[in-house]
């Protein structure tokens, strides 16, 4: 069986969803027709519909510890949209998982196919808690991080040596930061960028503070925001 | 205003470790693949991850989404706590569906939904007749009748529920 979840937002911007159960042979038309009917019956606005199926793995019996999880990054088509996933797997099995992810069936969230050009363009790292950027051969690859690691997003493999990354001495050359943000806009869903502009600004301010300069330097930030807006 | 399909299926894998901590990770598959094929592919990757993880894979969810493509403008007075509750029977059991922020025009004076109106009738027909067999209860049994429809409040006490909430 499947579930169809219909999500609404009301006049106070509160969200609520309602869920119905679908048979294994459900028709997509049924899901979308019900969406139209519910839209008519509600004074709130329908924002999204999700159809999903949960597959439990029986008898999950966790061993003592996950140990060091392995992080995998695979370039996507166009080499501007990176794929990033944190799989809590053991290094010995990383190649099997990589092989599956690189089979041509998997994509990034925006739908770009994952395409590892060669072994060197795939990155595996075991230290994701203290972010240590993977060494990617492609200089333009941007690694897409989970939201909680957004603060680390500005660090790419381009032009920063490992020592600089390790000790957090991020040079804020305007050109470099501009390049990174533009790459992000091209590679990541624009809505994600917009929803996190505050985080970007805060990050840039933090970097300034780390460099001993307490002012937020809006004259540095504004051109970056302008660059983003140009691309929208 | 239209629902636009997301470009991918999302497969979310859930893990648990020895400390009881849980983690999830997602992977994506291009649209255009049948749901059953996506399930097969997800199952394959799940098997690999389960073997490869020192923790344990507890399950995975395959989902497909449609997103509203325009800015939504809900009625400023609408509140999702006001539910339009529809109770369906499925064999000897019952299952319910709540419509968030039910439109006030669909609610009668006594709290029942006006099943004589096209909007409510259309939902009933769609779920029971037009797509018979597609909608089920949580056991997978097809819905066979709408047995009650009334307004409810998500934080209501029994005393504050509308008067006419019994099956009709």
A191 in contact with chain B, both atoms CB, cutoff 8 A: no
In this predicted model, which residue has the larger pLDDT, A58 or B15?
Answer: B15
Q: At what angle do helices B35-52 and A94-101 cross, to 10 degrees?
A: 170
Angle (nearest 5°) at CA B54 between A146 and A74: 40
**CA distance linking residue B32 with residue A97, whole number of Å:** 23
Pure H helices in chain B: 35-52, 118-125
The answer to whether residue A120 scores a pLDDT higher than 50 is no
pTM for this prediction: 0.57
The model's pLDDT over A50-79, given as tens digits with 9 standing for 90+, comes to: 999 988 877 655 443 444 445 566 666 654
Q: Which residues of chain A neighbour B51 with C-beta distances below 8 Å?
A: 93, 96
**CA distance linking residue A119 with residue B33, whole number of Å:** 27
Answer yes or no: do B16 and A11 touch at CB < 8 A. Answer: no
Q: Which residues of chain B neighbour A46 with C-beta distances below 8 Å?
A: 3, 68, 72
Q: Are B147 and B166 in contact (CB under 8 A)?
A: no
The answer to whether residue B165 scores a pLDDT higher than 60 is no
Q: Looking at CA atoms only, how far is residue B74 from chain A in angstroms?
A: 5
Give the least confident one: A104-108, A193-197, B18-22: A193-197
Q: Is the dihedral of CA B135, B138, B141, B145 positive or negative?
A: negative
How high is the pLDDT of residue A83? Answer: 47
Bridge partner residues of B145 (DSSP): B89
For tokens 């389960």, the residue is B50
The answer to whether residue A206 scores a pLDDT higher than 70 is no
Q: Using CB atoms, which residue from A20, A30, A105 is nearest to B29? A: A105
CA neighbours closer than 13 Å in the CB half-sphere of residue A160:
25
Instruction: Write the ipTM.
Output: 0.83
How high is the pLDDT of residue A3? Answer: 92
Q: Rounded to the nearest 5°, which phi and psi values hold at A98? A: -60, -40
List Cα–Cα distances, A205 to A107, A143, A210, B80, in angstroms.
34, 22, 9, 39
**CA distance linking residue A168 with residue A150, whole number of Å:** 15
Residue A7's H or E segment, with its range, is strand A2-9
A–B interface: beta-carbon pairs under 8 A: 273
- Reduced to 3 states (helix: H, G, I; strand: E, B; else coil), residue A26 is coil
The answer to whether residue B100 scores a pLDDT higher than 70 is yes
The model's pLDDT over B104-153, given as tens digits with 9 standing for 90+, comes to: 999 998 888 999 999 999 999 999 999 999 999 888 889 999 999 998 88
Q: How far apart are the first and last CA of chain A?
A: 40
Q: Are A126 and B49 in contact (CB under 8 A)?
A: no
**CA distance linking residue B54 with residue A43, whole number of Å:** 48
Q: Looking at CA atoms only, how far is residue A222 from chain B in angstroms?
A: 26
Q: Looking at CA atoms only, how far is residue B96 from chain A in angstroms?
A: 8
The model's pLDDT over A134-191, given as tens digits with 9 standing for 90+, comes to: 333 333 233 333 332 333 333 332 333 443 333 333 333 333 343 444 444 444 454 5
């Amino acid at each position: 069986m499947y579930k169809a979840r219909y999500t609404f937002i009301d006049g106070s911007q509160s969200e609520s969803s309602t869920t119905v159960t679908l048979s294994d042979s459900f028709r997509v038309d049924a899901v979308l027709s019900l969406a139209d009917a519910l839209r008519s019956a509600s004074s709130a606005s329908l924002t999204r519909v999700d159809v999903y199926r949960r597959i439990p793995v029986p008898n999950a019996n966790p061993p003592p510890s996950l140990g060091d999880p392995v992080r995998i990054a695979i370039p996507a088509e166009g080499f501007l949209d990176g794929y990033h996933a944190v799989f809590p797997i053991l290094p010995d099995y990383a190649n099997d998982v990589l092989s599956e992810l690189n089979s041509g069936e998997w994509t990034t969230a925006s739908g770009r196919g994952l395409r590892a050009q060669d072994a060197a363009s795939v990155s595996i790292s075991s230290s994701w808690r203290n972010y240590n950027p993977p060494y990617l051969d492609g200089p333009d690859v941007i690694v897409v991080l989970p939201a909680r690691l957004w603060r680390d997003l500005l660090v790419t493999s381009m032009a920063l040596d490992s020592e600089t990354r390790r000790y957090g001495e991020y040079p804020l050359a305007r050109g470099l930061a501009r390049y990174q943000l533009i790459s992000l806009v091209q590679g990541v869903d624009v809505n994600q960028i917009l929803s996190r502009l505050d985080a970007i600004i805060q990050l840039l301010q933090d970097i300034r503070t780390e460099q001993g300069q307490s002012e937020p330097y809006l004259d540095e930030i504004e051109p970056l925001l302008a660059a983003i807006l140009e691309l929208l | 205003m239209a629902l636009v399909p997301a470009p991918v299926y999302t497969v979310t894998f859930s893990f648990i470790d020895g400390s009881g901590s849980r983690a999830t990770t997602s992977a994506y598959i291009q649209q255009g693949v049948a749901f059953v094929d996506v399930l097969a592919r997800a199952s394959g990757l799940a098997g690999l991850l389960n073997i490869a993880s020192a923790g344990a894979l507890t399950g995975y969810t395959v989902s497909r989404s449609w997103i509203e493509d325009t800015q939504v403008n809900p009625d400023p007075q609408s509140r999702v706590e006001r539910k339009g509750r529809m109770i369906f029977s499925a064999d000897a059991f019952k299952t319910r569906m709540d419509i968030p922020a039910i439109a006030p025009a669909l609610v009668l004076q006594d709290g029942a939904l006006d099943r004589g109106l096209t909007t409510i009738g259309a939902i009933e027909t769609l779920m029971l007749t037009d797509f018979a067999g597609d909608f089920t209860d949580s056991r997978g049994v097809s819905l066979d009748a709408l047995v009650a429809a009334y307004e409810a409040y998500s934080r209501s006490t029994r005393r504050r529920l509308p008067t006419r909430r019994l099956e009709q």
